[in-house]
Amino acid sequence: MSNDRVEELREILRANRPEGSDDLGTDIRSAVDRQASALRAQREPGSALVAELTGSEGTMPTTGTEGPAYTTEAYAAVEKAATGLRTLYAPSVLGEAAALLSDLWAAGERHGVPPKEWDWAVSLAGGALEVIASRYTRTPDTERTGEQVFALRRDLIEALTSAEIGLNARTGSRTMTVVDRLPETPRGGYHGDASLVVGIYSNGGWDISMNADGATVVSIAAPATKAGAAEVAALVRAVARGELGNPFRR
């Protein structure tokens, strides 16, 4: 992502930051800012923005003062483990996995096992990511009610159509949300012009696919909350803009 694009996103945030905004509005702005920062950090690891993200102590920021603490090395290892998987991960989920990995590394250090030595036996980063992500992609212990599912869809549509995200979205069949494609959106469907469709379920988490028969479905590991809906919306925009390549061909 270019420096100009990051600054453009930040300008959008500043211009559309009303006083006394509701929680979802705050979540949307936070999700957009974190997604832009994550993309920049991925593509320009030596940039000044990465230093801004990590700080002088080498600890990545979290969603709040009570959020998990983790090292930049752990976050980078988790991001690397996520590369190429047929799942999209919300930044908050990556942060949780990085916090778990940091604790596992610390436990190993107490037994004289440095982080690198784990690589000979097991992928701790991949395991931490899988364990944390499964909280959000598997069937919940208590299935959501129809009212809860439709409320999450409303939160998603509100986030997608907000000034910060700026996509055209509408309700689809069942609990789906249809998102109009952009010129940069990966090709999909018989003619290559299919829109995107995002789902949330009573017995499962979020997912995304092309709005076409037989389309590949990609899970989205994100909380089933208002804040999670905002993170999903930011990921959907990244897919629509082609910033994540073609996640349906991994």
Provide the 3-class DSSP secondary structure of residue 63: coil
> Where are the chain's structural domains?
68-137, 146-249
Question: Could you tell me the two tokens for 55?
Answer: 């700080």
pLDDT tens for each residue of 30-50? 666 666 666 655 555 444 333
* Predicted confidence band of residue 215 (pLDDT cuts 50, 70, 90): very high
| Mean pLDDT within 218-242 | 96
Predicted TM-score (pTM) of this structure: 0.77
Query: What confidence score (pLDDT) does residue 71 get?
Result: 87
**What would the pLDDT profile of 132-158 be if each residue is shown by its tens digit?**
999 999 998 899 999 999 999 999 999
> Can you tell me which residue has the tokens 């009570």?
66
Reported as a single tens digit per residue, the pLDDT across 166-202 is 999 999 998 999 999 999 999 998 899 999 999 999 9
CB atoms inside a 10 Å sphere around CB 150:
14
Place of tokens 């995304």: 208
